[in-house]
Amino acid sequence: MNFPILSAITFIPLLGALLVLLIPKEDEGTIKRLSIGISVIPLALSIYLWFAYRTTPGGMQFEELAPWIPAIDVRYHVGVDGLSVPLVFLTTFLTTLSLYYSAHTITHRVKEFFFLFLLLETGMLGVFVSLDFILFYVFWEVGLVPMYLLIGIWGQPKDRPQYAAIKFFLYTLAGSVFMLLAIIGIYLTTGSFDILEAAKARPFADNFPLAAAAFWAFFVAFAIKVPSFPFHTWLPDAHTAAPTAGSVILAGILLKLGAYGMIRIVLPVFPTAFKFYAPIVAALAVISIVYGALVCMAQWDLKRLIAYSSVSHMGYVMLGVAAAAASLNLGDAAEVARSATIALNGAALQMFNHGIITGGLFFLVGVIYERAHTRDLQAFGGLGAKLPYYYGIMAVTCLASLGLPGLAGFWSEFFVFRGAFALIPVFAVIGILGVVVTAAYILWKVIQYVFLGPFNAEKWGGLTDMAAFEKVTMWPLVFFMVFFGFWPTPIVNLLNSATSALIAAL
């Protein structure tokens, strides 16, 4: 048997977490070095995975299959395709950066923090590689607990972290229990817990009310996580309260779990129901985009603003998925499939880009908050001259976020709208308003209020520019924004191998 690379990627962080437990808590240096060191192994393996994955023939690769609970046909089935490879990489990459950043900023309850963070990584990676519903569900929920503790323990007291933590937990749990019922329903109909089998078997195809119920059960579970309007209200609280690295992971990866579920499970397993409800999904996506952006305009807390921008940006992902769903049985097969694939590529690419860009933005919020101990936009002004390095990095990240051509964010938005215009033009037209508002709040609220205008030398005279570790954290992220901005081909090819197969199978 080949080297079980996916199991290694998934479980090495868990192993690391257990090792951290063995170190005495006073020995913080060792804990930090060990955690970062351990997290580099799955990162290296996932880079290898990226290059070792063959886009021709595509499909599931590096599969591992073993019985787990034969009594009810639950299997340990993992595998990756072009959709999951970038997300696995994103997870290991952002985790390593977060651990590195946290090693410099987390000063109390260090052992618990690094233990939970590594545990969280296993949970997230497990979701992206699972091909069995029960396995998927187990990882899905297992990741919930460490994040709950991260928000609650290391949140800033004034941000009501305890409230935010339980809200995050209950929202996700409420969605996922319905998903569990739907999973059981699928098993009782098809006799298998396998996700790929379910996509072939199309459970409840002959019973639309049941198919609709199962569709909504999955959809709501994932929409809460994405989060899509009207399920988004946990997000600003959780993001604001979480420690910097927690916010990065929350925005960078946990939100992707929901979007990934939409593409991996909802679309292929319930295409007919999804097609039927695509207008509703598209409407929710458009509301998320526009409403999220408008709410950003009204924020005075920088971190909360970035949090709401996630609602808006993840709306693009939902729009792309809805467009792909709407493409089912829509005349001129070749052209429609082309648009659907482009829309879905855009959605998948937006997931990756949003992880890089918004992850970066949360790091940058952390940088200024560590120094100024405030995130009130009205308190800043004119920092551009005082903190030129920070200004530069922030400007690049912000421009990537608003979709400036030449930076990564542009391509994903472009693909989503290119696909959506062909398939659901009305929604696409409304959605594009969000792009305008995004430019407004990024330039006006973030750039202008923080960096331009009069400088309050009395208050901010003592601020220092980015430290070395902060630069080291940000540079890889900026690299990807620029690299994929100029040359998105490598990642698009990878995604396309998965999305085109998915669309073809609909």
Partner 1 sequence: MTLETLRLLLPQLALLVLGLLVLALDLAGGRGGRLRKSLPYVTLGGLVVALGCALALWGQEQSLFWGMLAVDPFAGFFQVLAVVGVGLVVLSAVDYLHGRTPWAGEFYMLLTFATLAITLAVGATNLLMLYLAMEFLSITSYVLAGFFREDRKSSEAALKYFLYGAIASGVMLYGMSLLYGATGSLDMREIAQALGAGLEPSLTWVGYAAIVLLLTGFGFKIALVPFHQWAPDTYEGAPTPVTAFLASASKATGFAVLTRTFLTALPQFQVDWVAVLAGVSMVSMTLGNLVALKQTNIKRMLAYSSIAQAGYIVIGLACIALGAESRFNGVNGVLLYLFAYLFTNVGAFLGVIAFEARTGSNEIADYAGLVRRSPVLAATLLVFLLSLTGIPATGGFVGKLFVFAAAIQVQFYALAVVAILNSVVAAFYYLNVVRYMFFVPAEEGAAAVAVPRPIAWALAVATAMTLLIGLYPQPFINWTTAAVRMLAAL
Compute the least distance from the CB of residue 374 to partner 1, in Å: 23
For the bound state, the minimum distance from the C-beta of residue 71 to partner 1, rounded and expressed in Å, comes to 4
Maximum distance among all Cα pairs of the chain, rounded to whole angstroms: 71
The set of residues, in sequence order, having a beta carbon less than 8 Å from that of 258 and lying 6+ positions away, is: 221, 222, 223, 224, 225, 226, 227
Could you please report the per-residue DSSP string of 334-382? Answer: HHHHHHHHHHHHHHHHHHHHHHHHHHHHHHHHHHHHHHHS--BGGG---
Nearer to partner 1 by C-beta: 69 or 505?
A: 69
d(CA 460, CA 84): 44
Nearer to partner 1, 170 or 280 (CB): 170
If phi over 0 gives left and psi between -120 and 50 gives alpha, with beta otherwise, what is residue 203?
A: beta
Give 163: exposed, middle or buried? Use CB within 10 Å, 0-12, 13-18, 19+. Answer: middle
What is the smallest separation between the CB atom of 234 and partner 1, expressed in angstroms?
A: 13
First to last CA, the chain: 33
Say which residue the tokens 């980015």 belong to. Answer: 466
CA–CA separation, 238 vs 257, rounded Å? 16
The size of the chain, in residues, is: 506
Nearer to partner 1 by Cβ, of 187 and 411: the residue is: 187
Beta bridge partner(s), residue 306: none
C-beta of 188: minimal distance to partner 1 in Å? 6
The nearer residue to partner 1, 160 or 471, going by C-beta atoms, is 160
Least distance between partner 1 and beta carbon 365 (Å): 23
C-alpha–C-alpha distance, residues 73 and 318, integer Å: 32
Residue closer to partner 1 (CB basis): 184 or 472: 184
d(CA 127, CA 139): 5
* Least Å from the CB of residue 149 to partner 1: 6
How many whole angstroms separate alpha carbon 5 and alpha carbon 495?
20
Please report the DSSP string for 136-205 in residue order.
Answer: HHHHHHHTHHHHHHHHHHHS-GGG-HHHHHHHHHHHHHHHHHHHHHHHHHHHHHHS--BHHHHHHH-TTT
Structure tokens at 434: 């969000």
Q: Measured from the CB of residue 453, what is the shortest distance to partner 1 in angstroms?
A: 39
Shortest distance, position 177 Cβ to partner 1, whole Å? 4
Nearer to partner 1, 170 or 429 (CB): 170
When the beta carbons of 89 and 117 are compared against partner 1, the nearer one is 117
* Least Å from the CB of residue 320 to partner 1: 30
Q: Shortest gap between Cβ of 39 and partner 1 (angstroms)?
A: 21
In terms of CB distance, is 142 or 433 closer to partner 1? 142
Residue among 19 and 439 whose Cβ is closer to partner 1: 19
Q: Which residue, 79 or 146, has its beta carbon nearer to partner 1?
A: 146
Min dist. Cβ of residue 174 to partner 1 (A): 5
How far, in Å, CA of 182 to CA of 422, rounded?
32
Q: Whole-number minimum distance, CB 241 to partner 1, in Å?
A: 11
- Which CB sits closer to partner 1, 165 or 296? 165
Rank residues 21 and 44 by Cβ distance to partner 1 and give the closer one.
Answer: 21
Residues of 86-119 as b/e, b for ≥16 C-beta within 10 angstroms? Answer: bbbbbbbbbbbbbbbbbbebbeeebbbbbbbbbb
In whole angstroms, the minimum distance from the beta carbon of 24 to partner 1 comes to 12
Q: What is the 3-state secondary structure (H, E, C) of 54-91?
A: CCCCCCCEEEEEEEEEHHHCEEEEEEECCCHHHHHHHH
Give CA torsion, residues 350, 220, 245, 112, to 10 deg. Answer: -150
Residues making contact with partner 1 (CB under 8 A): 68-72, 112, 134, 137-138, 141-142, 144-145, 148-149, 152-153, 161-162, 165-166, 169-170, 173-174, 177-178, 180-181, 184-185, 187-188, 213
Q: Which is nearer to partner 1, 178 or 363 (CB)?
A: 178
Helix axes 425-440, 302-326, angle to 10 degrees: 160
DSSP 466: -
